[in-house]
Amino acid sequence: MNILIPYECIELTATIQRHLLFAERHGFAIDDVVIGVSRSGYFELTSQDQCTQTLTTDCTSSPPLDGANLAIYYQSLSTESVDDTQTAWVGCYQERKYYDIFNVDGLQAKIESDTPIANYRAHFCWVLSLLALDFPLQDALIIARMMDNVSRETWPSQYALFPHVLISERHSSLNQRLSFSPVDANLMAIYPVVDSCSWVEKCLASGIKTIQLRIKNPNQHDLERQIMESIELGKRYRAQVFINDYWQLAIKHQAYGIHLGQEDLVNADLKQIAENGIRLGVSTHGYFELLNALQLSPSYIALGHIFPTTTKQMPSKPQGILRLQFYQQLVQSFGHLEKSIPTVAIGGIDLSNIKQVWKTRVDSVAVVRAITQADDPRKAIEQLHITANPMAIKSRGALC
């Protein structure tokens, strides 16, 4: 990734270099990040595939330019164009709080903080550095905020220090304080995700105690029957069966649990799910989504995708082991404050890399191809259980 800086702002180079070295000390690879001079007047980020993002800001001596991919305003309190997906307003002061306002996947979102930004330029340099390290904008804004609140020797990991995230009022269900029934974390070590009730039965018969039915096609002719049978199999085997996405059918047939992605959270009736005593699992793909999920206090949180995967088209890049470790630390710090929320690592995990995943101290590992494409699924399940997190076994007893 190349970071190109306008000549009139070249003095920011030293600050960006310090930020990148800080990230390197905490495990991030910066060898591919090269800092140079922009000839366009914009700040530029150019990836290895030659995709270029142009940025402009009002916190430098150079006035913001029209036509950039992203404009970040620090000194303007006007949010008349808040629906503009190419603009972020940082540090807006409203009702004794400071807000960073931007759009995520078409939804207006806010980061709420009690304190102002001490140094606009340092904050902007953090945003540039984090974007160069492949963090999405919403995560870059959160981490840049955090760097005012932590020791320079520490990567942010304590939930109490993180800002609150808020979704727009028209999706206010995401901002409710709800209470979802807990799962039995003792039964979650190996968590298969399968696409048919026949696979649900095979896995449960092989000793699996937590499983997810994920049928991608909403028009599948036997969709409701598959869901009904999977729920009944869960009762027969005394297992935790989660239904992915189809929350109305899951409520109708009184499923043990429902798993929702971030996009599904927007439209699902979370209050109805909670009131029916149904467990909720939530997918996350970074800091913003993780903080949003933690505010819901779900039954468990999935962290991913960790490695490249072919089982699902993913909008985000693989998170990798280092980020998984930081996300796990964040969830653990939340548990100390309120309730313990189990974590599930997901995405491209198999016998070749599962031990790396367990070292991050996640509670559970979700697998797909490691079982469904195995020559002997029962044997694959046995081998996966053998690798299970020693810390989890020690603290919770032997696997069922």
Which domains are seen in the chain, by residue range?
2-87+119-141 (no CATH), 177-396 (3.20.20.70)
Spatial separation of the C-alpha atoms in residues 97 and 43, rounded to whole Å: 29
Q: Is 161 annotated as contributing to ligand binding?
A: no
pLDDT at 82: 59
pTM of the model: 0.92
Per DSSP, the chain holds a count of helices (H) and strands (E) of 14, 17
Spatial separation of the C-alpha atoms in residues 137 and 90, rounded to whole Å: 12
Spatial separation of the C-alpha atoms in residues 103 and 337, rounded to whole Å: 29
Largest CA distance in the chain: 70
Instruction: Give the amino acid at 221.
Output: H
pLDDT at 215: 97
Q: Is 133 annotated as contributing to ligand binding?
A: no
Q: Is 214 annotated as contributing to ligand binding?
A: yes
Residue partners of 166: CB distance under 8 A and separation at least 6: 109, 110, 111, 112, 175
Q: Which of 374, 389, 328, 321 is nearest to 194 (CA)?
A: 374
Q: Is 215 annotated as contributing to ligand binding?
A: yes
The region, left, alpha or beta by phi > 0 then psi within -120 to 50, assigned to residue 33 is: beta
Spatial separation of the C-alpha atoms in residues 226 and 217, rounded to whole Å: 12
Please check whether residue 374 is in contact with residue 331, taking contact to mean a CB–CB distance below 8 angstroms.
no
Spatial strand order in the sheet of 34-38:
34-38, 2-6, 43-46, 52-57, 70-73, 87-94, 97-104, 107-113, 164-167
Spatial separation of the C-alpha atoms in residues 258 and 27, rounded to whole Å: 35
Q: Is 309 annotated as contributing to ligand binding?
A: yes
Q: Is 283 annotated as contributing to ligand binding?
A: yes
Q: What is the pLDDT along the chain (400 residues), one digit of tens a residue?
A: 999 999 999 999 999 999 999 999 999 999 999 999 999 899 999 987 888 999 999 998 776 778 899 999 997 665 555 566 788 999 988 888 999 999 877 778 899 999 899 899 999 999 999 999 999 999 999 999 998 766 667 899 999 889 999 875 444 455 567 889 999 999 999 999 999 999 999 999 999 999 999 999 999 999 999 999 999 999 999 999 999 999 999 999 999 999 999 889 888 999 999 999 999 999 999 999 999 999 899 999 999 999 998 766 666 789 999 999 999 999 999 976 667 899 999 999 999 999 999 999 999 999 999 999 999 999 999 999 998 755 444 433 333 3
pLDDT at 10: 95
- Burial-class residue 90 by CB neighbours within 10 Å (0-12, 13-18, 19+): buried
Q: Is 387 annotated as contributing to ligand binding?
A: no
Q: Is 264 annotated as contributing to ligand binding?
A: yes
Q: Is 212 annotated as contributing to ligand binding?
A: yes
pLDDT at 373: 95
Output phi, psi for 28, to 5 deg: -80, 140
Q: Which of 243, 258, 251, 253 is nearest to 213 (CA)?
A: 243
pLDDT at 348: 95
Q: Is 46 annotated as contributing to ligand binding?
A: no
Q: Is 32 annotated as contributing to ligand binding?
A: no
Q: Is 113 annotated as contributing to ligand binding?
A: no
pLDDT at 149: 62
